[in-house]
Structure 1
């Protein structure tokens, strides 16, 4: 059988570990159920559980990819021909240039509205205050 498993439209790579919702790490035990489902286990536990059961009871499962090795980091850095020269030269920036680079540009001015820009309040016309005034005048 292959080292991938398709379950509910999700393809699981069985060569890597998976973390469940509380952080327990599950890995493929290298065995299969009679129904063709991969058997999973947690570290230090010998009980095997099928991947669909782990997914339904503890999922969703989050893949845990191995960290890159030092050689992989070096290969990624060596792709940039200027990286080594940049690191060797160092990066020095004058304080004034740094200040200019991080200076906050002021926001554009927003016109301020004054009272004469606003329509009169309906409460001043015939709204709630008008109702209250009518109560006072009627007594």
Structure 2
């Protein structure tokens, strides 16, 4: 699922990292106002709405995902031009 905040599309299915280094994940729930509820993965597990996270902790970027063995094989098996 995605959400749009300040014109930026945020993938709620991925862990998001705020500018301050805090890590957030969507709880699969929304607030009474319809905003996605995000839970802090480090520290005390605080739950805030997506706009609150943005205001209090800074813009979000998706956490990097590890490279899979399948991708390594695909790259290594490609023939050189």
TM-score above 0.5:
yes
Question: Structure 2 unaligned runs (5+)?
Answer: none
How large is the RMSD of aligned CA atoms in angstroms? 1.5
Q: Distance in 2 between matches of 1:32 and 1:47?
A: 15
CA displacement, residues 25-78 of structure 1 (integer Å, 9 cap, x when unaligned): 111111111222110011264431000000011011121131121112112222
- Going by fraction, where is strand more abundant, 1 or 2? 2
For residue 77 of structure 1, what is the aligned residue in structure 2?
A: 76
Q: Across the two proteins, how many residue pairs are aligned to each other?
A: 79
Indicate the residue corresponding to 2:27 in structure 1. 29
Which residue number in structure 2 is paired with residue 53 of structure 1? 52
Q: TM-score, normalised by structure 2?
A: 0.84
Uncovered stretches (5+) of structure 1, i.e. residues with no partner: 83-139
Higher helix share: 1
Between the aligned partners of 2:61 and 2:10, the Cα distance in structure 1 is 10
Which protein is bigger by CA-based radius of gyration? Answer: 1
Q: Describe the superposition over 1:67-92 as per-residue Cα deviations: whole angstroms up to 9, x where unpaired.
A: 121112112222x224xxxxxxxxxx
Q: Which has the higher contact order (CA 8 A, sep 6+)?
A: 2
TM-score scaled by length of structure 1: 0.52
